Structure 1
C-alpha cells in the first residue's frame, strides 16, 4: 500500500457524518498547531509586555514625564511588535499529516485510523473489499479531539514564566482596586491612576444678564443645580499638568486657558440639561447634574377685547404677559383694518419693573389720531429680558373718538380725519381750512391764524411734514373751540397751555429715548426740567382760574394750607420721579409716570367749581376723622396711665407681703402643720379651688393678730387718695368714650363695637376702684385697652369705607400740603388714610406688649413681675411645703374634695 495524497478521497465524501466531524476537527487542530508553533516567536514579545505591565503596577512609567513615558511605551511596543512579526513570518505551516496525527493523539485513536481513510488498494480489483474495510474503520472512530496548545518549554523557561506570573499576581494584589487604573495609566500616557490625588476644583455659574442674581457655586465634586439657559460656567482647576476639558451636557464655546504650569480655568455656556463632567488626564474630576431652564419667548395675549372706555373716549387695552425671566417692554401695534395706509401706531404700555407675570388694562388717549372712529387691528408685542420677542393674536375693534359739540370743531375733526386717511388731497384740505377760518368769530385771532398757517403749509411743497403738522394744529384748535363752548375763553386758554406744555414734555421724553445713552446729558435733562416747569406753571394758572371762578360763584373753598411751598405735593413728586427716570434711562418707568401725569392734567382741565366744593367737604371730613383718631389715642394714653397706677399699687403690696413671708420664715414663722391647705398652695404659687378656700375659711377663722392690710398707714392713705383720683379720671374717660362713639356714628353712620365694649368695661373699672379691688380693676383696665385697640381698627375700616379721600380730591394735586389741609396731595392715591394706616401699624407693633410697652408673654414666659429670683432658702421652703402637702394627701380623714384635688395636683410631681 501507498500513502494517499492530502486531499479527501472520493470514497470518504460519501461518509457525511464522519466527514463533517473530521473537517471541523482538522480546522481546530490547524489553529492549535499554529499556536504551538507561534509560541517560540512570541515568548520574547510577551515577556517584554509582561515586564512593562509589572512596571506599571508598581507605577514606574507613570512617574516619568509624559514625554518620556510616551517614548518608553513606544520603544517597548515597537520592539515587541517587530520581534513578533519577524518570528511569525518564519513559522512553518502544519501539514495534513501533522494535523491528522494531532487529532489521533488527542483523541487516543489506535492504529492511525485517519491514515487508513486516505489509503487505497495497491492492486486494482480489490476496491469493494477496501471500501468495506474503510467503512469498518470509520465506524470505529468516536469523538475527534484536538486538545489545547501545549508549548514545548524547557524546565528553566517554565520556571521563569511561573516566576513572572507570580510576580504579576503579587503586584496586582498589592495594588488592589487600583490595579486596573495603574495598568491603564501605564499603557496610556497622559493619564493618571487612581492613586494620584484628584486636582482641586472651584466652580461657579454666572447667571445671564437677563436673569440677574448671585452666582451659583457648585460645592464639592458632585451635586445638582438649577440655572437659566445661557448661564456661563467658570471652573478653576489646580494640580493637573495637562489641560482639562468639559463634556456631557450641551455646552457652547468650551475653552481652557492655562494659568500656570498646573493651574487651568475652564469656561462654557450651558444650554441644555444633563450631567456636566470635568475630566482631566483620563479621570473625572467632578460631575454635576444641571437642570437648565429654557429661555422661552414671552407668552403675551389679550385678556379681553380692546375697545372704548366706558363713558369716555380713551382706548382700553387689556393685556397679560408672562415670561420666566421678566418682560422689559410691551407695546400695542395698531394698523388700519381697511385702506392702504402702511403706518403702524405703536402705543407703549408701561410695566412695573420687569414683571415675570403681569396683567392689566392700559387706557391711552388715542382720540387725537386721524384713525379715530375707524376699524383697526391691534397686536401686542412683548420683549423679554433676554431679548426674545413674541406677538399676540390680532384683535379688531373700532378706535374710540372724542365727541365734539361745537360745529366748527366737528368740521375740523372731520377734515383732519379725511386728510389723515388720504381721502382728501392737500389742496382741497387747504381750501376747506380757509373756509372754516372765515366762519370763526373775529375775536378768536389765535385760532384764525393757526388755521391760516395750516392751510398755507398744505400748499407749500417745501414743508415735508406739512400733513402731520396740520393734523396737530387742527386738533388743538378743535379742542380749544370745544372748551370755549363748554366753559369760557379763559379756561380754554389755560387748557390749551396745559396741552401744549404736556406735548412738549412728551416730545422731549421721546427724543431722549431715541438718543439712548446720549439722551442722558445735562443739556437734555435741563431741557426736560424746563418743559416740566412750564407744565407746572400752566397747571397752577388753571388752578388759580378755577379758584377765582368758585369765589365769584360763592361756592365752598377748600383750605389751601398755611405753607405756600408746593415742593411736597403729588404733582411735584411725580414730576421729580419722571425726570429722574428719564435721566437714568428708565424709559418704561418714565412712560408710566407720564401717563399718570396725563391723567392728572386731564382731571385738572375738566375740574369745575362743584369739584372744589366736594373737595372742601372731603377735607373737612378728613379733619374730623383725624380728630377722632387723635381723641382715641388720647383715650388709650390716659387709660394706660390708670393701669400703671393699679399695677404700681399691687406691686407695692406684693413686695411687702414677700418681705413679711421671708421674715416669718427666718424667725420660724407659722407652723406648716397648722397652716390651711389653701395657704400652702398659695405659697407654691398655685390657686386653690374655690370650694376648698371657703371651707377652710369657715373651719379656720382668721387669727386676731393678722392685720387685713400689710401696708403702713401712710402708704395706705396715699394709695386711697390715688384710687379716688383714678376713679374720677375713669369717670371722665367713660364720658369721653360715649361722646367719641356718638361722633363716629355721625361721621360714618355706624357705632363702633369696640367703644361699646369699652363703655361696659369702664363701668367695671369704676366699680372695682370704688371698692378698693385693685386686682379686679387691673383685669378690667386691660380689657378696656383691648376694646380700644379693637375700636381703633374698626374706626380705620369705617373711615376707609366712607372714602373720605377719593373722588374729586384727586382732581387737584396742587392743594396745599401744610396747615389744616393734611395730605391733600396724598389723597389722590391713598384717599387720605395715611393716619389710619399709621394707627394700624402702631397697634400691630404694640399687639404683643402691655400698655407700658413691656413685652407680654404666654403662660409663664416673659412675665412682668416685681418678684426676685428665689434663693436657696426659698427653694428649701417650697420643698418643705410640698412634703407637707404629700403628708396631708396621705391623711384619709380629710374632706374627699380636698384629697381628690391633692391627688390630681401631686401626680404631676
Structure 2
C-alpha cells in the first residue's frame, strides 16, 4: 500500500491527537514502572532487611564508626543494584503502549493503529473520509490503568515472610519504633531505649549581683536571672559530645572532663530558650528570663548650693540601680578653661546601696577654681560597670574669705598662677615682695615664701608649681588664723592641717598601690601619720584651754565622758586606720571626711563651745542616770514579784497552771503555762518526769500552812507593801525628772503609778494572786516606759549625738589604754549607737544579731519574725524566773539549771 502524505488536520483532529499523545505518555511511564519493579525488588529487600535489623536495635548497638560503614555499605549496595537493574530495563515499544491503552480503555478493532493509515492510491475519497471520521468517533476516553506489579511465586513468598517479620518487629518495638528507625538510619543518634545522659546545670550570678548559685532542674522553671550570669552544664554518660542550642556557638566554652563527660560554660545575655542535645535527643532545656543590667539612674535631688557657712559646697544627689551603686562622683569643669583637667569629687557611699540619696558636703575652697563659675555633673557607676551622667548644673564655687591683707594677696597670686595667668618668674618676684611685707615675728611664713620663690627660679626643681601652690595656701591660712587669734592657736591649726593632709595622701597612696598597699610597712606609715594628727589635735585642745583661762571663761565640769576613756575622734581615727589597712578605701575616705569636719569645728572652736559641749555631756549623763533608775525600778519590782510567787502555794500554782493549760490558746500568757508547755513552745522536749510532776487541779498536793509560816508571810507582805509604796514615789519623781529633761511625761510611768497603787491594795488585803497580776502589769508598764524614753531622747542633745564632737581635754592619748569599757566595747557598738540609735530590737532572745534580706543568709538557721522573737523572749524570762523559784519540784529545778546554764 502506497503511503500518501497526511491531509491537513482540523481542530478536532488536533484535539484527538493531543489526547492520544498524553495517553501514550502515561502508558509509557506505567509500563516502565512495571518493568522497573522487577529491577528494584532486590535493592528494596536489602533496605528492608536493614530496617528490620534497626527495629531490633542491631545497627545502633555497634560503634558509631562501624554503624556508619554498615549503613554506607547497605545504602551503596542497594543503589548499585538498583542502578544496574534499571539500566537493563528497555523502553516500551509503541505497539505495546497502544495495546495497553486499547485494553484498559475497552476499544475494539485496535482503532489507535488505524489513525495513522492512508489510502493506497493516496486519494482521500469521501468514503475514506467517512471511514476515518467513524474511526475517530469510536475513540472515547483513553485510560492507562494502574501499574500491574508482577510477582513470581518465590518472590511472593519472600515478601510475605518479610512483611510478617516486619509486623512482628513493629509490634515488639511499639511506640519506640520511630526512634529506633531514626537511630538505625542516622549514625550518632540514640533511640529512646538508651538512657538519657545525666545532667547537672546551675547558674552563677554575676559579680554585680552576688548570691548563691541557682541550680536548674527539668521540673521547675528558673527564676529571673540577672544579665551576664554564667550557665554551667555538666553532661555525664554521653557516648559522643553534646552541643548547646539557643546561644551563639562562639560564646560556649566546651571542656571534655573524661571519656563520657563534658562541661559547657556560656554567658546568659538575652531572654530565650537554651537546650542541650546529645545524640539527637534533648537532655536539658530551660527558658531563661534575663533581667537586663541597666545603667544607673543619677540625678540632682536639688540644685547644688553653698551651705550656711559659705565655704562648703552641698551636692544633693539621688541615684538608683537594681543591683547597687558602686561609685558616685561629681565632675567639675571650668567652662572658661576647657583645656584644664576636670576636678573629680568622690561622694563616699556606705557599701553598694540600691537607692542612695543624700547631700554630700565638701570643702573646695582650697581648689584653684574657688570663686569661679563652674559646670558640675554627677556620675554614677553600677556594680556591673554601667555609667550614667546627670544634667549639668552651673554655680560659683565657694571661696574662703581671708581677713589678713597679705593672706588675700597670696590667695590672689595663687589663683592667677594656678590658672596660668602669670609665669613662674613673675610669681617668684611677687612672692619675694610679699615676704618683705611680713613682720619680723613671722619668720616661718617668710622663709616658706622665699623657699617657694627659689624653687620657681630653679629649672631643675621637681614639683615646683605644686609645692608653691601648697605653700601659698598654708601660709595664707596661717596668717589669717594669726590675725584672728594668738600664735599658739595658729600654729596648732597649721599642724592639724599638715597632719590631716599627710593622712589623706597616705590613704590615696595605699589605694593606688592596690593589694600592695596593705603591707605592714604601709600600715605603719599610716599609723604614724594618724599619731601625728592625734598629737596635733591634743595640742589644739591645750591651746584652747589656755585661751579660755586667759579670757576668764568659767568652764563647767565635764567629768568623765559617757563612753569611758574613749571619745568620738579616737573611735573615728581607729576605724579609719582599720578600714584603710583592710583595703576599704571608700569607707576610709568617708571616715576621713567626717574627721575633716570634726577638725574644722575644732580649729574654729571657742571656749564657749567647750562650755556647750560640757552641758550636753551633763545632759547625757543625766539621761543615763534616768535609765539606770528605771532599770533599778524593774529589778526591785521583779523582787516583789518573786516574793508574791513564793507565797503562793505549790498546789495552788500547779492547779492554776493545769487549768490554764487545758484552755490554752495561741498567745496565752506565758506566766500561766506549765514549764513543760513552755519548753515545747521553744521547740524542746521536756523530760517525762516534768509532765508527771504537774499537780492536779483539785489541789490535792496543797499542804496546810503552819502558824509560824503564816506569820512570816504576813511580815513579808507588810515589807513588800512598804517597798511598793517607796517604788511608787520613785516612779513619780522619775517621771517629773524626765519631763524636765525632755519636756514630756512618760505615759508608761503614769500607768505604772496606778498599777502600783492596785498592787499595794492587794498586798494590804493579803491577796497574793491578784497582787501577782498587778505587779506583772507594773513590769509591762515599765518596759513600755523604757521604749518611750528611748524615743524621747533619740536625736536630742542629751540622748543622741552631741552638737560638736571634741576629744577629751588634756588626756593626751585617751584611746591608747582602751580597756573593755571604753575601747573594744565602744568600737563594737559604734555603728549601732551612732547610726540608728536602735534599741537592739534586731536581736534574738540569745543576743544574736539578725539580718534582713541577704544579710541573714550566712547561717542555716531561720530567724523568726518580730512577734516570734518577742514571744521567745517572754518564754526565756519566764523560765529564768521559775528557775529562781526554789519552791518548785527539785527535778524541774535541776532540769532548768542545766538548760539555762549555757546562757
**Which range, TM-score by smaller chain?**
0.7 to 0.9
Q: After superposition, give the CA deviation of every residue in 1:793-832 in whole Å (9 maximum; x if it has no partner).
A: 222222225331557553304466899x989989998888
Question: Is residue 2:747 matched to residue 1:783?
Answer: no
* Residue aligned with 1:287, SS: strand
Matches within 5 A, 1:272-311: 272-311=270-309
Q: After superposition, give the CA deviation of every residue in 1:675-734 in whole Å (9 maximum; x if it has no partner).
A: xxxxxxxxxxxxxxxxxxxxxxxxxxxxxxxxx996443333332222222211111111
Aligned length: 812
Matches within 5 A, 1:443-482: 443-482=441-480
Deviation (angstroms), 1:244: 1.5
How far apart, in 1, do the equivalents of 2:284 and 2:710 lie?
Answer: 82
How far apart, in 2, do the equivalents of 1:629 and 1:109 lie?
Answer: 127
Larger deviation, residues 543-552 vs 748-757: 543-552
Determine which of 480, 491, 494 is the counterpart of 1:493. 491
Alignment match, 2:555: 556
Determine which of 238, 242, 245 is the counterpart of 2:243. 245
Larger deviation, residues 145-154 vs 733-742: 145-154
Larger deviation, residues 573-582 vs 441-450: 573-582
Deviation (angstroms), 1:563: 12
Determine which of 750, 770, 773 is the counterpart of 1:756. 750
Question: Is residue 2:878 matched to residue 1:854?
Answer: yes
Matches within 5 A, 1:201-240: 201-220=199-218, 223-240=221-238
Deviation (angstroms), 1:422: 1.9
Alignment match, 1:894: none
Structure 2 CA distance for partners of 1:62 and 1:564, relative to 1, 3 Å: closer
* Residue aligned with 1:145, SS: coil
How far apart, in 1, do the equivalents of 2:500 and 2:571 lie?
Answer: 16
Alignment match, 1:112: 110
Alignment match, 1:873: none
Deviation (angstroms), 1:475: 0.9
Larger deviation, residues 13-22 vs 63-72: 13-22
Structure 2 CA distance for partners of 1:796 and 1:233, relative to 1, 3 Å: closer
Determine which of 182, 192, 204 is the counterpart of 1:194. 192
Larger deviation, residues 158-167 vs 809-818: 809-818
Deviation (angstroms), 1:266: 2.7
Determine which of 712, 723, 738 is the counterpart of 1:718. 712
Root mean square deviation of aligned Cα: 3.7
Deviation (angstroms), 1:330: 2.8
Deviation (angstroms), 1:168: 1.4
How far apart, in 2, do the equivalents of 1:524 and 1:220 lie?
Answer: 53
Determine which of 47, 50, 55 is the counterpart of 1:49. 47
Structure 2 CA distance for partners of 1:558 and 1:833, relative to 1, 3 Å: farther
Structure 2 CA distance for partners of 1:182 and 1:93, relative to 1, 3 Å: same
How far apart, in 2, do the equivalents of 1:3 and 1:714 lie?
Answer: 162
TM-score by length of 2: 0.82
Structure 2 CA distance for partners of 1:521 and 1:727, relative to 1, 3 Å: closer
Deviation (angstroms), 1:364: 2.1
Alignment match, 1:33: 31
Deviation (angstroms), 1:69: 1.3
Alignment match, 2:740: 746
Question: Is residue 2:448 matched to residue 1:427?
Answer: no
* Residue aligned with 1:617, SS: helix
TM-score by length of 1: 0.82
Deviation (angstroms), 1:197: 1.0
Larger deviation, residues 127-136 vs 313-322: 127-136
Matches within 5 A, 1:526-545: 526-545=524-543
Structure 2 CA distance for partners of 1:431 and 1:361, relative to 1, 3 Å: same
Larger Rg, first or second structure (1 or 2): 1
Structure 2 CA distance for partners of 1:24 and 1:223, relative to 1, 3 Å: farther
Larger deviation, residues 217-226 vs 535-544: 217-226
Indicate if the aligned counterparts of 1:655 and 1:866 stay in contact, CA closer than 8 A: no
Alignment match, 1:263: 261
Indicate if the aligned counterparts of 1:800 and 1:833 stay in contact, CA closer than 8 A: no
Indicate if the aligned counterparts of 2:4 and 2:122 stay in contact, CA closer than 8 A: no
Indicate if the aligned counterparts of 2:557 and 2:614 stay in contact, CA closer than 8 A: yes
Alignment match, 1:375: 373
How far apart, in 2, do the equivalents of 1:230 and 1:103 lie?
Answer: 73
Structure 2 CA distance for partners of 1:353 and 1:851, relative to 1, 3 Å: closer
* Residue aligned with 2:265, SS: strand
How far apart, in 2, do the equivalents of 1:556 and 1:519 lie?
Answer: 45
Structure 2 CA distance for partners of 1:325 and 1:490, relative to 1, 3 Å: same
How far apart, in 2, do the equivalents of 1:56 and 1:211 lie?
Answer: 52
Structure 2 CA distance for partners of 1:633 and 1:838, relative to 1, 3 Å: farther
Deviation (angstroms), 1:195: 0.6
5+ residue gaps in structure 2?
A: 660-701, 846-865, 892-903
Deviation (angstroms), 1:440: 2.0
Alignment match, 1:837: 839
Determine which of 93, 98, 101 is the counterpart of 2:99. 101
* Residue aligned with 1:455, SS: helix
Larger deviation, residues 433-442 vs 602-611: 433-442
* Residue aligned with 1:213, SS: coil
* Residue aligned with 2:356, SS: strand
Indicate if the aligned counterparts of 1:308 and 1:316 stay in contact, CA closer than 8 A: yes
How far apart, in 1, do the equivalents of 2:300 and 2:651 lie?
Answer: 74
5+ residue gaps in structure 1?
A: 662-707, 858-863, 870-909
Alignment match, 2:147: 149
* Residue aligned with 1:347, SS: strand
Structure 2 CA distance for partners of 1:489 and 1:204, relative to 1, 3 Å: same
Indicate if the aligned counterparts of 2:619 and 2:797 stay in contact, CA closer than 8 A: no
